[in-house]
């Protein structure tokens, strides 16, 4: 495997309004951002503080736009119950979900930017959902989530990453080189932001798996990279993508 994974991406657009039927340019901008962020090519990678320069990662996974499917619907918002992933509930079934990353783009509602399925789940619902207002960095992309980092974060989940704070106070993300965070961070925290957890480490608030604004997140760590690449290795839950 060693960093040569190339993931075909199928984009399923579900729209009611013309604005929700986002342009190909907006879709391609998201693919470009995924390639930058997963290959240490993002223009803000050099903003990683020197304290973390030893662990900032080039994950080495690439993404290629494979197909775009579009469907007009009369649903105003889709929620998070996977209805958008099923033709039987008005959505679109995934295409080749064991070899292609399916992305659904629609209005989710409830203030949700996106959500992902972790490895090991049903292939019928596998993939990532992104609200059309938070996809890519052009068209309808809306500040402060208009730099495509919602998809970077969600694809991180799809590749088995947990939130950096472990979804509980001073919880674990099962990654050794990320500091223990007190809780989620929002906005763009000033550096250094100290954890209240054991040892009071400086939090890695600029990690994609925190909850900051898009402009506040610009790195994965080497430990996160190992955890992601493991799913594509022999016996791993996404080995079918590595062939």
Which CB atom, from 161 or from 239, has the smaller least distance to ligand ARG?
161
Binding mask 175-204 for Ca ion (x = CB under 5 A): x--x--------------------------
Give the residue carrying structure tokens 């030893």.
54
154 interface partner picked from ligand ARG, Ca ion, none, CB below 5 to 8 A per type? ligand ARG
Each residue 172-211 as x (binds ligand ARG by CB under 6 A) or -, in order, gives ---------------------------------------x
Residues 71-110 that bind ligand ARG (CB under 6 A): none
The C-alpha atoms of residue 151 and residue 131 are separated, in whole angstroms, by: 10
> In sequence order, which residues have a C-beta less than 8 Å from that of residue 212 and are 6 or more positions away?
185, 186, 187, 188, 189, 205, 206
> What's the rounded Cα separation, in Å, for the pair 232 and 243?
9
The site string for Ca ion over 136-175 (x = CB under 5 A, - otherwise) reads -------------------------------------x-x
Within 110-129, the residues that bind ligand ARG by CB under 6 A are 113-115
What single-letter DSSP state applies at residue 122? -
Q: Is 154 marked active-site?
A: yes
Nearest to 219 by CA among 132, 152, 120: 152
Q: Cis ω on the peptide bond leading into residue 157 (within 30° of 0)?
A: no
Count of residues engaged in binding ligand ARG, rule: CB under 6 A:
13
Q: How many Å apart are CA 167 and CA 143, to the nearest integer?
A: 25
Q: Which residue is nearest to ligand ARG (CB)?
A: 150
Is 37 a binding residue for ligand ARG by CB under 6 A? The answer is no
User: How would you class 17 by CB atoms within 10 Å of its CB: exposed for 0-12, middle for 13-18, buried for 19 or more?
Assistant: exposed
Angle between helices 24-37 and 149-158 (to 10 degrees): 60
**Cβ closest to Ca ion, residue 155 vs residue 175:** 175
How long a stretch of residues is the chain?
243
Catalytic residue among 20, 36, 154, 203: 154
Catalytically active residues, by annotation: 154
Residues binding Ca ion (CB under 5 A): 173, 175, 178
User: Contact residues for ligand ARG (CB under 6 A)?
Assistant: 113-115, 145, 149-150, 153-154, 211-214, 217
């Amino acid at each position: 495997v060693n960093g040569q994974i190339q993931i075909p991406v199928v984009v399923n657009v579900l729209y009611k309004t013309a604005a929700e039927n986002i342009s190909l340019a907006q879709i391609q901008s998201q693919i470009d951002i995924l390639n930058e962020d997963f290959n240490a090519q993002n223009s803000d990678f050099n903003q990683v503080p020197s304290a973390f320069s030893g662990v900032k990662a080039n994950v080495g996974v690439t993404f290629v736009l494979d197909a775009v499917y579009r469907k007009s619907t009369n649903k105003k918002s889709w929620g998070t119950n996977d209805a958008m992933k099923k033709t039987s509930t008005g959505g679109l079934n995934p295409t080749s979900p064991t070899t292609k990353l399916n992305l659904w783009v629609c209005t989710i509602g409830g203030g949700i930017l996106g959500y992902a399925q972790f490895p090991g789940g049903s292939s019928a619902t596998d993939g990532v959902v992104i609200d059309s207002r938070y996809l890519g960095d052009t068209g309808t992309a809306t500040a402060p989530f208009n730099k495509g980092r919602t998809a970077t974060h969600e694809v991180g989940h799809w590749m088995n990453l947990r939130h950096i704070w472990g979804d509980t106070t001073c919880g674990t993300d099962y990654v050794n080189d990320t500091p223990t965070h007190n809780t989620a961070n929002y906005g763009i925290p000033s550096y250094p932001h100290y954890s209240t957890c054991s040892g009071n480490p400086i939090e890695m608030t600029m990690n994609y798996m925190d909850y900051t604004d898009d402009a506040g997140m610009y790195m994965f760590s080497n430990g996160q990279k190992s955890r992601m690449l493991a799913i594509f290795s022999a016996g791993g839950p996404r080995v079918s993508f590595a062939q």
